[in-house]
Amino acid sequence: MDGLLTSGQDAGTARTRPEEDALHRLAVVLQDDLTETNRTILARMASDVELIPQLAAHLIAAGGKRLRPLLTLAAARLCGYRGERHIHLAACVEFIHTATLLHDDVVDESGLRRGLASANAVFGNKASVLVGDFLFARAFELMVEDGSLDVLRILCNASATIAEGEVLQLTTQNDLSTDIPRYFKVIEGKTAALFAAACEVGGVVADRDSAVCGALAGYGAALGMAFQLVDDALDYAADQNELGKTVGDDFREGKLTYPVLVAYAAGDGPERAFWRRTIEDGEQTETDLATALDLIRRHDAIGQTIREADAFARKAKDALATLPDDPLRALMMEAADYAVSRHR
């Protein structure tokens, strides 16, 4: 889910699809901050160990919207912050996110990331895990340098919650008895937690009260839920070139996502037997993905997933509506709409 702005692009000239306009406008407004964040990311990725900057350069070449750090920058500016702490914290958030991606691709045995060969496919699993550890260490350096115990608490808790979410996903991966609340707990951990933390620390550096910081965290958490739900839908509905990974990866990996849970719950006996064979038992043939896509369509599982994502996007905008009206607030609300529009 990437491609808006890389460290080598200028925010004013980055190419976007029409539905990405909201994020593009947000990047343009925050261009100076985003440029400094990218510089910080590049500087902190430096190492005398050759493999680390090589692998980092591969990740940068794959692009990325820098969405999570963009949220940190936007939240801080929305709260009237005029210093520079948010720059390093935005870089910190991106390091946490990138480290989790490196680890996830190893766990999932993914071959593509943002349309290019994943780092583990190019450099191997061992290098990917260790460079992920390096990025986590850099993130914690930036937290300590900031000096705020509140910032440290928020980002440390988010890092732990992400790990818990990934482990929970692993334990539910092939278990069709998983219900929707448990599935939501997975994505609250693996995705929404960092969105929430990215927004909340923007309020903290601006010395805003708990109500404002809580509203920002609520916005981020709901936005993260919407993003993950749409990502789940895209795995069964997107064009592979636009998705940036192989369509059907979640199915092949036996991941329980919202569309599968919907189709399984609505299915008859033979359909449920199909899902148990392919997801629980991991027995798949070349034609099974096509069958899965047909069942997903038959039960409007994508439509239900998108409607659920839209409900979370509305929650995100409702949380932000408690803050004073501001052009940045409007763009952040539009980002919630963008989260859902990606499936079109």
**Inter-helix orientation angle 301-320/288-298, to 10°:** 60
- Give residue-wise pLDDT tens across range 143-174: 999 999 999 999 999 999 999 999 998 888 88
**What pLDDT, on the 0 to 100 scale, is given for residue 11?**
38
Out of 26-40, 131-145, 231-245, least confident range: 231-245
Residues 6+ away with beta carbon under 8 Å from 126: none
Determine the distance from the C-alpha atom of residue 55 to the mean position of all C-alpha atoms in its chain, rounded to a whole number. Answer: 20
**What pLDDT, on the 0 to 100 scale, is given for residue 4?**
29
Three-state secondary-structure class, residue 281: coil
Q: Which helix (H) or strand (E) holds 112?
A: strand 112-113
Token pair for 336: 């919630």
Place of tokens 């990311």: 41
What's the CATH superfamily of 18-341?
Answer: Farnesyl Diphosphate Synthase (1.10.600.10)
CA-CA distance, 319 to 86, in Å (whole number)? 21
Q: How many CB atoms lie within 10 A of CB 122?
A: 15
Q: Is 284 left (phi over 0), alpha (psi -120 to 50) or beta?
A: beta
Out of 65-79, 101-115, 289-303, 326-340, least confident range: 101-115
Q: How many CB atoms lie within 10 A of CB 48?
A: 6
Task: Write out the DSSP string of 128-164.
Answer: HHHHHHHHHHHHHHHHHHH--HHHHHHHHHHHHHHHH
Q: Work out the pLDDT band at 55, boundaries 50, 70, 90.
A: confident
Task: Write out the DSSP string of 196-229.
Answer: HHHHHHHHHHTT--HHHHHHHHHHHHHHHHHHHH
Q: Where are the domains of the chain?
A: 18-341
CA-CA distance, 144 to 138, in Å (whole number)? 10
- Give residue-wise pLDDT tens across range 4-25: 233 333 333 334 454 457 888 9
CA-CA distance, 132 to 225, in Å (whole number)? 24
What phi and psi values does residue 19 have, to the nearest 5 degrees?
-70, -10
Overall average pLDDT of the 254-271 stretch: 95
Q: For Cα atoms 164, 318, 100, give the angle at the middle one, nearest 5 degrees.
A: 25
Burial class (CB in 10 A: 0-12, 13-18, 19+), 165: buried
**What pLDDT, on the 0 to 100 scale, is given for residue 90?**
97
> How do 112-113 and 116-117 pair as beta strands?
antiparallel
- Give residue-wise pLDDT tens across range 128-138: 889 889 999 99
**What pLDDT, on the 0 to 100 scale, is given for residue 112?**
58
Determine the distance from the C-alpha atom of residue 148 to the mean position of all C-alpha atoms in its chain, rounded to a whole number. Answer: 25
- Give residue-wise pLDDT tens across range 23-36: 889 999 999 999 99
CA-CA distance, 273 to 270, in Å (whole number)? 5
Do residues 67 and 342 make contact, with C-beta atoms less than 8 angstroms apart? no
Out of 75-84, 242-251, 263-272, least confident range: 242-251
**What pLDDT, on the 0 to 100 scale, is given for residue 18?**
42
Q: Work out the pLDDT band at 242, boundaries 50, 70, 90.
A: low
Enter the pTM of the model. Answer: 0.89
Do residues 164 and 190 make contact, with C-beta atoms less than 8 angstroms apart? no
Q: Work out the pLDDT band at 253, boundaries 50, 70, 90.
A: confident
Q: Which long-range contacts (CB under 8 A, 24 or more apart) does 266-274 make?
A: 266/299, 266/301, 267/295, 267/299, 271/295, 272/176
Higher pLDDT, 186 or 20: 186
Q: Work out the pLDDT band at 281, boundaries 50, 70, 90.
A: very high
- Tell me 279's DSSP state: I
Q: Work out the pLDDT band at 114, boundaries 50, 70, 90.
A: low
